[in-house]
Amino acid sequence: MKKWFIKAIVFISAALCIIPLIITVSNSFMSSWEIAEGAHVFPRDISIYQYEQVLLRSPQYLLWFWNSVKILFFTVILAIPLSVSAGFGFSKFQFPGRDIIFFLYIIILLLPFQATLVPQYITLNHLNLLDTTAAVVLPNAFSAFGAFMMTQFMKNIDDEIVDAGKIDGLSHWGVFIYIIVPLSKTAVAALFILLFIECWSMIEQPLIFLTDQGELPLSLYLGNISSNLYAAGTIYLILPLLVYLLAHDELVEGISYSGIK
């Protein structure tokens, strides 16, 4: 009886989470006259009117879409190598102050974004990076979360494997490239998905660090439109949904072996 009760709770919770998605996608196919009437659970007439308006008659939507892609691309190509390198250093090397530095990483990780907002703003201002893509990319590329996650994962890699590589003549760089990186593929995939979701849906950082309308990401555009919102939201959902479906197993495995619950 208890088992069925738990399943029922899980099913109801999942349904409540999926209902807004269903309404968004179904309403994206409303015709123009139905849009004037308001939202429905399901449209009475199937139409691609909203998609036509968003993709062919809203150049700002496409501009902000590619801004989101640009921010995501540069963040990922910087954050993943930095996180993997930091994880390797923290997990497989002994050096003065290692535990203290890693402790500071954890403290930074626990701090809410609002607590670090002012220092980030001042730093970016002194570097003359405000109102540029770098103002959003760099704080996320040097995020403490990636280093923490990769460190926790690499701690589970047996040191004997690393020692065997060194006995075979591999340098530290060789151990990193030929042993650590291949064994960390699942964690890297999980980190990529988490970075993707974070960058794709960020609000606060671009809102504060960017003022040029031509540099804003799509996540801000959705909050400023009233027409064709359902189609715009559906298109916005496609990329993260595809990434999750294609790499679901790697996400679960990577987080599990990293010890992050």
Per-residue pLDDT of the chain (261 residues; tens, 9 = 90+): 577 777 788 788 877 888 888 888 888 887 755 655 555 555 666 778 888 888 888 888 888 889 999 999 999 999 999 999 999 999 888 888 888 999 988 888 888 878 888 888 999 999 999 989 999 999 888 888 889 989 988 988 888 888 888 888 888 888 888 889 898 888 898 888 888 988 898 888 898 898 888 888 988 877 777 678 888 888 888 888 888 888 777 777 766 665 554
As a whole number of Å, the CA-based R_g of the chain is: 22
The most distant pair of C-alpha atoms in the chain lies apart, rounded to whole Å, by 73
Tokens of 194: 């988490």
Give domain limits for the chain.
57-258
d(CA 184, CA 204): 31
Question: What superfamily in CATH does domain 57-258 come from?
Answer: MetI-like (1.10.3720.10)
